[in-house]
Amino acid sequence: MGRRAAALLIFISALVSAPLTGRAQTPLVLPAGEAPVVRVMMRSGSLVVRTWNRTDVQVTSAQPVSARSFRPEAVARALSGSIPIFATTVFGPDGTITLPQEEFAFTSLPPGPHAGILVQALDADVTVMMPAGTALLLANVQRGGIDVQDFRTGIFALLLHNGGMRLRNVGGTGYAQVARGPLMVRDSSFDRFRARTAIGNLFFENCTSRQIQVTSVNGTIIYDNGSFQPGLARFESDNGSVALGTGGGVQIGAHSSVGRIYSLVDGGAVRAGQTDAQIGNGGAVVTASSSHGAIYIYRGALRAQRRLPAEWRPISAFAQRRVPQPKRTNGRIH
């Protein structure tokens, strides 16, 4: 772990020491090739990432922002096959919550060469346009929001300490962490995906996953109108509920330490107070567990269910919500 973490820190240092390409309030355009490595570091503000069919990276902001580039040789020397996700702590009503350190491993980057781009800002709203074939996207925002759309083929690691994150039409292999705040993922398909929050709800809609692990300490998880391909699929919340709405061909192992498991799936009858249940037959194996919340299993979309029992009303109301967009005022998030 130490060697790989050091390699990534060398990579960051190489970026920081690279010649300054620009710092301005007008669009910055940097040649990047077809498969660059793009890293964005911000203290506060909203980050919007989009892709296009060009080989440039364009950075737009009304506030000061810097952009640097470096050669593919530096990327090849610095990057290893993993990204260290360092521990982070937030303060909740009952004390501190710490998300422990993890390591996000990946087998290899898409074919290169991989030029490097670093974007940095203090308090700004930033839009980054990057090539559709970008190999690796790394983004770290302390306070604000992250919105990524139409990034389908590369690897990504998105870290947000306080705010809301939204992913739309995203694929490939990725890691998404929000220490405090909601995460919403729509119309996406993942080979491998890891998502976690300390205090925050996670909502997935119309998604397909081969390998997925979703955890929250104080948050509800909904995987709505989704599907699974054979692989690892785990959804766990300590103090929130977990709701899974899928099509056929899935076998779900449900666990609620407080004995609240509810199913609308045919043949999925659960006795009152039961803490463990197997629901569905054949197909992908999925586990859903909660220490202090409920487990809800249903077919398709929750909003399409009719005449829901009373115990379903809290999760049904939650499913109608969406991640609020952060308010922008001179680059600051309120």
Over the chain (334 residues), the average pLDDT of each successive run of 10 is 43 45 70 96 98 97 93 85 93 91 88 92 97 96 98 96 98 97 97 97 96 97 95 95 90 94 79 86 90 94 88 86 48 42
- Containing H/E element for 139? strand 136-149
Contact indicator for 12, 90 with CB cutoff of 8 Å: no
Rounded CA separation 230/105 (Å): 20
User: CA of 231: how far to CAs of 178, 235, 285, in Å?
Assistant: 24, 13, 7
100 CB contacts (<8 Å, ≥6 apart)? 87
Q: Is the pTM of this model over 0.85?
A: yes
Could you tell me where the DSSP H helices lie in 219-309? Answer: none
- Containing H/E element for 2? helix 2-17
Q: What are the structure tokens assigned to 293, written together?
A: 């919340």
User: Which residue has 């699974």 as its token pair?
Assistant: 228
Contact indicator for 130, 153 with CB cutoff of 8 Å: no
Q: What are the structure tokens assigned to 244, written together?
A: 């899974």
pLDDT of the residue at 25: 56
